[in-house]
Amino acid sequence: MADLKIKFLGHEFKNPVIPASGCFGFGYEFSDYYDINILGSISCKGTTLKPRYGNPLPRIAECPAGLINSIGLQNPGVDKVISEELVKLDKVYKDKVIANVGGHSVSDYVETVKKFNDCDKVLAIELNISCPNVTGGGMAFGVDPEVAKNLVAEVKKVAIKPIIVKLSPNVTDIVKMAKAVVEGGADAISLINTLVGMRINLKTGEPIIHVKKGGYSGPGIFPVALRMVYEVSHAVDVPVIGMGGIQTAYDVLEMMYAGASLVMVGAQNLVDPYACKKIIDDLPNVMKEYNIEKLEDIIGRCK
């Protein structure tokens, strides 16, 4: 029988498949489609210290191989996420989850992380220092190695849960960024967040998205994500979560060969709400096809 279990940051995941932050809400809505307890975990919607409405409409633009979004971290704020959203999720999903945290300042990140310290539902914090969809904060922290390192160091002073840092692909040297956040104390790295893109309405000559640019995700970015996961996983001594354009169980194996311990599935959930279920159901078949008995054994196989 195929063994899908993965050990990561001291926690055993039943399989490596996790819906990515921003593409699965807070998770409980998807329980109307299937039993979400099959998921390895859930990276919850990006959470900030205070409530955020997000960016003005329109904030979605379709592309031939994905989509561009500029949601702008819309969320009800950390207090309501803990007291309402995660309580709803706990009724339908019994495992622990990953809290994704964003902010405009170092103090925003620090205070939000402190509030998650006492939340038993959360097993780790994913710091979103790479969001291209907010003005101030977000990617401003994710393109300067020294700034990113200092942010992680400040968060680590107060965090009692493992810290995963989500990196932006919109940099010249992804390995330099990865090494910087590890020096700051990151326990793991997740990558990649979205590329920056735009679309133009030919009838008006204006950008489709209100704020002009947004984050491009979907299968079109998979080769870029794979390359960056490979480079980072071979350059740092902390585990890596791979994401970016994953659609199938074959993509999962490819990401794990490149060095990912876990994978996150993003835009495909918006195309097909059963995406993660299909991948999990198909993994044993694809493992058999490639004579893989234990999924953990293939992590970083590609040298």
Which residues are catalytic, by number? Answer: 131
Q: If you ran DSSP here, which 8-state letter would residue 267 be given?
A: T
Q: Which residues contact 244 (CB under 8 A, 6 or more apart)?
A: 169, 191, 192, 217, 221, 222, 224, 225, 226, 228, 229, 266
Strand order in the sheet with 60-63: 60-63, 66-69, 214-217, 195-197
Judge whether 92 and 26 are in contact, CB under 8 Å. Answer: no
Judge whether 243 and 266 are in contact, CB under 8 Å. Answer: yes
Judge whether 125 and 116 are in contact, CB under 8 Å. Answer: yes
Q: Which residues contact 291 (CB under 8 A, 6 or more apart)?
A: none
Taking CA atoms, 23 is separated from 133, 230, 282, in Å, by: 14, 24, 21
Cα 247 from chain centroid (whole Å): 15
Beta bridge partners of 24: none
Residue 161 sits at the vertex; the CA angle it makes with 174 and 107, to the nearest 5 degrees, is: 70
Q: How far apart are CA 166 and CA 198, in angstroms?
A: 22
User: What burial letters (b/e) apply to 278-288, b meaning 16+ CB within 10 Å?
Assistant: bbbeebbebbe
Q: If you ran DSSP here, which 8-state letter would residue 36 be given?
A: G
